[in-house]
Amino acid sequence: MSDKWPAILNAVKAEVSEMAFESYFTNLKYVSCENDTLTISAPSVFLQTQIDKKYRGIVIDAANSCGLPCSDLNVIVKSTESQKSTVIKRGAYEIRPDNAPQTISTSYTPPSTAPRMAPSGNITTYAGVKRFTTTDNGLNKKYRLDNYIVGSNNDVAVNAALSVIENPGTRYNPLFIYGGPGLGKTHLIQAIGNEILERNPQMKVLYVTIEQFYHDFVEAMRKKIEGFTEKYRNVDVLIVDDFQGIVGKEKSQDEFFHTFNELDQHNKQVIVSSDRRADQIATVDERLASRLMQGIPIDIQMPDFEVRCAIIKMKADIAHQDIDDASVEYIAGLGCRNIRELEGVLNQVFLRADLRNKTVAEVIKEDFADTTQLAPAQRQASIQPKKLVEKVAKYYGLTSDDLFGTCRVKNINTARQISWYLMSEELKMSTVKIGSEFSKDHTTIMSGLKKIRGSIKTDFSLREQISELREQLYA
């Protein structure tokens, strides 16, 4: 039966994008087909989860079309083929395997807001000369793709990450990931470094924040410490976090520009994260911004409701906490601006539940009743379209009549389209229903929604405005 596997892969390839096929299917292996179940192996829990969650039906259909009859798919991890097969649990919002590695040590202390500083390596002195000696790659081993929740908000970034892991320094170089704070950028870029080292232990990978790069550069000049160039240029993969911190540091920008050029010329991988695109960061040198944008800049957005539910379930599993589906949905609908805030709320709930020896549901009922009287679905239903328009108009210094009217002035039209976007995303209204509210054809609404959804991906300011409007809606 294994001879049919190449044909099955070809059938799958015809149904998915080229990027998806390269990212998810090239390393899958045929294992067996017994009892009407096709068993295949994946090299990691992450790929196992993605195939089972997103492509199960496509693989089954492809197998049947190629003469391998089956009605079910079992995806196992390659390293555990000789052991009991890993089966994906199918509870509400559960997307991790039962026996996925518990690699995150979770405490109940809310995440620190202090700047992240990667280890700079020791400074040694030999024959009176001080030199940088990198003794730590700066990576935190808890950041893995296996415990990174994938959704429509970040799937493009994850696909690009998988390509980089497979072939560092080729297709996406540099890989520039941007998005608001607390959306998982640091997790993803460090996961790339960890996965590369796992597959290629001989490679030199270095993770630093831009603040650490700046600090080392200043120390090298001020104290005449040697080895700065070797530390940052004698690597196979350089990962730089929080790039927006380079604002106003002209000499550091110049040094980073030359460091990037040196690595790029030797096909070494550069990965950069920032809270906005390089060409949108004030005072960043145009040459440097242009070089960083030569790859494909990819954004990460706030996860949608279903992905937030999956994140909460995963965090609860890691913390060995029981949480019911109603509580999951309640916390996911609280209007947190990012994953970091969501995790902070969850940690507080878990802490209170432990201290009082009560369930999560009991804590939510007691502690959140005064400030959030309605469940998320009820709160959503309580917002009327006209009230939403009033809040958007007030936010932009306009009136409801301006938005309901026909004026095409740019600021009014943009505010009007944002109200359509919020009606679609928050109130789940159809384009026809939105059109009836504004006396517009549904195709006009669709065009406006497409414009706002496209702008959100590149306009950091617009994204922040919509986040603030969401907060005001549920305040």
Name the residue among 258, 295, 300, 257 with its Cα closest to residue 276: 300
- Are the C-beta atoms of 393 and 402 separated by less than 8 Å? yes
pLDDT in tens, 90-124: 233 333 333 333 333 333 344 444 455 544 456 66
Residue 375 has which token pair?
A: 């469940």
Measured CA distances, 331 to 209, 316, 336, 433 (Å): 31, 12, 9, 29
Rounded to an integer, what distance in angstroms lies between the CA atom of residue 363 and that of residue 360?
5
Q: What pLDDT is attached to residue 326?
A: 86
Q: What pLDDT is attached to residue 116?
A: 54
pLDDT in tens, 363-373: 888 877 544 44
The backbone region for 49, taken as left when phi is positive above 0, alpha when psi lies in -120 to 50, beta otherwise, is alpha
Q: What pLDDT is attached to residue 96?
A: 38
- Are the C-beta atoms of 189 and 138 separated by less than 8 Å? no
Q: What pLDDT is attached to residue 409?
A: 92
Say which residue the tokens 């400074």 belong to: 123
Encoded amino acid at 292, one letter = L
Q: Which residue ranges in the chain fall short of pLDDT 70?
A: 1, 19, 45-46, 78-135, 369-382, 457-458, 460, 474-475
Q: What pLDDT is attached to residue 125?
A: 56
